[in-house]
């Protein structure tokens, strides 16, 4: 069993497809073990995406991630990290395969509907960034 962090980003919450994305996670064998809807502050978004600090898209990324509500989900399942990344599709929605979350709901490279952890170390850091131990059941 493995855990990963999924984020339903502001363009997707605006489209009112939170339930549809959660259903795609569940249909892919992932279990929601932690869930919250919130509106990130700039400090939270900057801290979460600290590894991208200094990259040309960083400012846009933080602006977008703080532009509306997000849904944070800790997801558990076998091969959860890579399984969720396959389900999300390519970061660039123009390259996302049919049937993926980004093919369905992404609008651009930045407004790409969902985030998913890319490694076990990132998953642990990202889940702990938003959830405490009592919120993961
Ligand atoms: P995400 O999986 O949340 O991780 C970092 C985010 O930065 C990524 O999704 C994109 O939304 C954004 N991103 C990464 N690379 C680029 C890029 N080259 N141009 C614009 N946005 C990017």
**pLDDT, tens digit, 9 for 90 and up, residues 22-31:** 999 999 999 9
Question: Cβ(44) to ligand 1 under 6 A?
Answer: no
**pLDDT, tens digit, 9 for 90 and up, residues 25-57:** 999 999 999 999 999 999 999 999 999 999 999
With 0.85 as the threshold, say if the pTM is over it: yes
Give the SS3 label for residue 17: coil
Closest atom of ligand 1 to 9 CA is 3
C-alpha closest to that of 87 among 69, 106, 62, 66: 106
Q: Residue 93 forms beta bridges with which residues?
A: none
Nearest CA to ligand 1 atom 3: 115
What integer best gives the mean pLDDT of the chain? Answer: 98
How far apart are the CA of 133 and the centre of ligand 1, in A?
A: 28
- Annotated catalytic sites, by residue? 9, 49, 112, 115, 126
């Amino acid at each position: 069993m493995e855990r990963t962090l999924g984020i339903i980003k502001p363009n997707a919450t605006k489209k009112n497809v939170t339930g549809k994305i959660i259903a795609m996670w569940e249909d892919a064998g992932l279990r929601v073990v932690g869930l919250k809807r919130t509106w990130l502050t700039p400090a939270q978004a900057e801290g979460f995406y600290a590894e991208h600090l200094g990259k040309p898209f960083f400012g846009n990324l933080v602006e977008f991630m703080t532009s509306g509500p997000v849904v944070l989900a800790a997801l558990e399942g076998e091969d959860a990290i890579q399984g969720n990344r396959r389900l999300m599709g390519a970061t660039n929605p123009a390259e996302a395969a049919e049937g993926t979350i980004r093919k369905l709901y992404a609008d651009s490279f930045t407004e790409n509907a969902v985030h998913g952890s890319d490694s076990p170390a990132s998953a642990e850091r990202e889940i702990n960034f938003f959830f405490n131990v009592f919120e993961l059941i």
